[in-house]
Each structure stands twice: as C-alpha cells, then as structure tokens.
Chain A
Amino acid sequence: MDTVITMAQLGLAAAAVAAFVRAARGPTLADRIVALDLILLLLAGAVAAHGARAGTELFVPALIVVALVAFAGTIVVARFIEWRDGR
C-alpha cells in the first residue's frame, strides 16, 4: 500500500508540474486559473493519499478547505475577467 501511495503522489506531483507549465504559459488569464484550480485539486488528492498512508482521518477538513478555496477562487477570477473585459 505504501508503494502504491508513493507512486500516486509522484504521479500527482508530475501532473502538478504539467499544470504549472500551463499556468506559466497562459496565454489567457482563464488558462492560468483553470491550471491553478487543477493544481489545488491535485494537492487535495495528494493530501487524501497521505491520509490513507498515515491511517488518520484528520485530512478530511483540509481536503474540504482546499476544494472550497479552489472553487471560490476560480469563480472570483471568472467574475473578474468578465468585469475587466465587459467595461
């Protein structure tokens, strides 16, 4: 099980690197926020995987907070794009 979780976390880290490249490259703000949203979801996945290895249930609140921040942040930036380009 530990091997599986280590592999999963390595995979998630690699995915985060790919998303980070998209966030840095853009070209639009929407691309960047979608990539950053994805990085947060990948982080939540890594937290859950860590929780499975550590045998603790304490990771769940952290998971919910990360997912909520990802959602709220994306919505706010989408609103901002519409406001900025709609003036």
Chain B
Amino acid sequence: MTPLELVGALFIIAGTLLSVLAAWGVLDFPSALARMHAATKSASLGLSLIVFGAAIDEGSWGLLGMAALVATFLFLTAPISGHMVGRATYLAGRVDNLVHDDLAGAPHTPLAVGNGVRSGFSAARLISVTVIWMLLWREVSPGTLLGGAAAAAVIEGIRKAPVGQDSIRLRGLLVFAARYIQMVFVSNARVAWEVITPSNEQIREAIVAVPLASSTPAVGLLVANAISFTPGSLTIEMTGDPLVLYVHVLHFESVEQVERDVRKLEAYAGEVFQRADTVGSP
C-alpha cells in the first residue's frame, strides 16, 4: 500500500463513518427537524470525504479538481434543501415540540433577491465558469475552451443580480472559508456525539428569530448557508425587508446565546463583501 492509497483509504473510512452516523441520526432522532440536522450536516461531509478519498487514491489532479467541484456543490445545496424541507415541515404544522417559537405569527415577506438588474460582464466569473466547464469535460483542448467560454458568456448574458450588488473581497473570503471548514468539522463531531450518546431527552428544540438589520441580502445568504453547518442549528426561514433569519436550534439555552452565535458569523460574512454603497469611498 502506497502512502497515497493509505491517505485515500483513511478519507474513505472517515466518510463512511459519517454517512453511517447520518443515517443513524435520520433513523433515531426524535423529531422531523432534528432528523434534518443529521441529514444536512453529516451526509454532505461524508460524501465529500469519500469522493476526495477516491481522488487521492487515484493520485490524479483532474479527479481531485472534480472532487472539489462535487464537494462545493454539496455544500451549496445541502443547506438549501434542509431549509426548504424544514420550512415546508413547519408550515405543514408538523412541528409541535418547540420550547420557544419566534416563527409563529411572524409576517411573511419573501426576500426580493430575484428582482434585480442585468449585471455587467466580469472577467473573473467568465474565467471561473470556463475552468469548471473544462474540468467537467476532463480535457484541456480548443473545443472545451470554446464551449466553456460560450457557456460562460450565455450565463453572464442572462444573469440578473440584486440592485446594488456587493463585490467580493478575496481576503475576507479566505478567512470565512477557513472558519467555515472548521465549523463543518466541529458540527459533524457534535452530531456524531449526539447520535452515539442516547441523550434524546436533552434535546430542547426552538426556533429563534435573529434580525440582520445591517446586512445586505448577499451577506444574509452567506450567513443563512453557514448557520446550517454550525453545530446544532439550521436555517428554517428567511424574510426580507428588514432581513430576519429564523434559526432552528437543537439545544436551546437562551435567545441571546443563539443571537451571539449568528452575530459572530455575520461579522465574518460581512468581511467577505464590500458593500455596493461604499465601493470607491475610503
């Protein structure tokens, strides 16, 4: 067994363990929303680890790039499906074990992120879509380059962005990404601990409203996504104008505690974007 194979095997073992824990949580947790916590957090990291393990075992850079793409896709989509299924469950009236519920009777104002303006062409976005296209074809050739550029151009042409779109700051993005990866591992460890220790009676579920008054929709979106990967919390609903996040927590202690955790994330997420109204000013 070569060192590469050993590392690959370790990744595959860790991914399998997490997947098994996710399934056990889905089977064993006492309420519908609690089961979504296990499925959202553990299954995506578990599958990502297995795919990375397979890529490392093959020792191929192209495959490693694909694994990164698959993992990114999983981490972008898992919070969305968790959020949508969680909200549907709540609206269906299937949630009755909450010790605290801010969502009951809350006004329903949907976020107006889609009503935007046509955004200009950006070279960074064009290049990244082209690279992703070439990765998907697993081939660097004039054909894939042209195809990727064409696909990127079409996407840029029809893409609409919210009015006053924020630009991304690389340094903030890196700090946020590091913090995000750390959170993902901590929250998986927590879910794992939750699953293997039969402590279902310690679970006190609650839905807490956290206003994000000072944030733009882009920051709110990032926070909503990240919350679904922090230990024991899941975004259930997000309303706009003013921006309010509704967070489902597994171990409710106090509203202030939840708010403090979200504020910390908001500060990190705020560093990623440069607000559109402050661009160009010192």
Main secondary structure of the interface of A (DSSP, over half): helix
B35 A31 Cβ-Cβ under 8 A: yes
B: number of interface residues (CB 8 Å): 52
Contacts of A51 in B (CB 8 A): 54
Could you give, for residues 21-51 of chain B, a 1 whenever the CB lies within 8 Å of some chain A CB and a 0 otherwise? 0111011000010011001000110110011
Main secondary structure of the interface of B (DSSP, over half): helix
Contacts of A71 in B (CB 8 A): 77, 80-81
A18 B24 Cβ-Cβ under 8 A: yes
Contacts of A52 in B (CB 8 A): 8, 12, 53-54, 57-58
Q: How far apart are the CA atoms of A44 and B8 in the complex, in Å?
A: 17
Q: How far apart are the CA atoms of A4 and B5 in the complex, in Å?
A: 10
B16 A75 Cβ-Cβ under 8 A: no
B24 A1 Cβ-Cβ under 8 A: no
Q: How far apart are the CA atoms of A34 and B23 in the complex, in Å?
A: 10
Contacts of B9 in A (CB 8 A): 1, 4
Residues of B with Cβ closer than 8 Å to A?
A: 1, 5, 8-9, 12-13, 15-17, 19-20, 22-24, 26-27, 32, 35-36, 39, 43-44, 46-47, 50-51, 53-54, 57-58, 60, 62-63, 66, 70, 73-74, 77, 80-81, 84-89, 91-94, 136, 138
